Structure 1
Amino acid sequence: MNNKFDALKDDDSGDHDQNEENSTQKDGEKEKTERDKNQNSSKRKDDANKNGGKWIIRLRKGLASRCWENLILAMLGEQFMVGEEICGAVVSVRFQEDIISIWNKTASDQATTARIRDTLRRVLNLPPNTIMEYKTHTDSIKMPGRLGPQRLLFQNLWKPRLNVP
């Protein structure tokens, strides 16, 4: 798994002189961070992930925080043992339920998707009767959710009004 984390450093050394090289390097890092954010905006459409899919777990309200924390810790601890196959995770807090999904790069690799499913069930302490749905990215693009295109329509119509003097 490719983990990218940026750490903030406190400079308590007392030496606050920055030369042009450090300043240029920091500007380059900021540009790279912005570029990475833009490139990662849609994992489904990324060529490296277009043949992938995701495991979807619908949860009762109140369980998402614990499950999300356990999922992230399992990913960081590489408990899934599938190498670079996992490419993302999503938590979606909804009105009546919460949804957690974990994305992988190759939907056709049934052994890997089964290993991800079994590890998810273990690290999230899911009961045996928990329904887990696997959906390929191509199916997700064809059928974008329960609300389908209407969801996009409402997102584009509603705009908050700000009362700024």
Structure 2
Amino acid sequence: MNNKFDALKDDDSGDHDQNEENSTQKDSEKEKNDKDKNQNSSRKKTVVPGPAEHPLQYNYTFWYSRRTPGRPTSSQSYEQNIKQIGTFASVEQFWRFYSHMVRPGELTGHSDFHLFKEGIKPMWEDDANKNGGKWIIRLRKGLASRCWENLILAMLGEQFMVGEEICGAVVSVRFQEDIISIWNKKRLVTKQQLLGSETP
């Protein structure tokens, strides 16, 4: 034998079949472990306030969407078009997102920013929204950024006296005007309740 490994090649004792089986078994275990790791990493981590941060009553998520005007959208394509920016649980975490975001007045085309409670998607098909409604304010161009900021700060600070009725808010940038809306869980919320002059 020229090579000391030639003996292993010619060995017909069946050990290499056992080695292949062990190798296959190890590969499948490795694949399973990798799959478990991927599943664990893909699970959402709960966002919590950091030490010494000021917690909000609810966690909120920023979303962004943009669509081509004139093109009809189905609920499926609408859902695919919505991009999640991030979730926050404290005042400080909110400012970390908001201070780096483009203001609505600087957006072009048919663009929307959404701010909804965590777990609620900004679409009517979501369970929290499907029996609800929305309040709409139409704005002339140039006012959206200031109004949006005032609205979301009031929402995060629980300034609307309607308990858990508010699902989220949307600012929609359009060519002729901008639209701000507040989405609520039930259609029966009155303007007086929303503005705090009447209890629900």
Higher strand share: 2
Between Structure 1 and Structure 2, whose CA radius of gyration is higher? 2
TM-score normalised by structure 1 residue count: 0.46
Larger relative contact order (C-alpha < 8 A, sep ≥ 6)?
A: 1
Higher helix share: 1
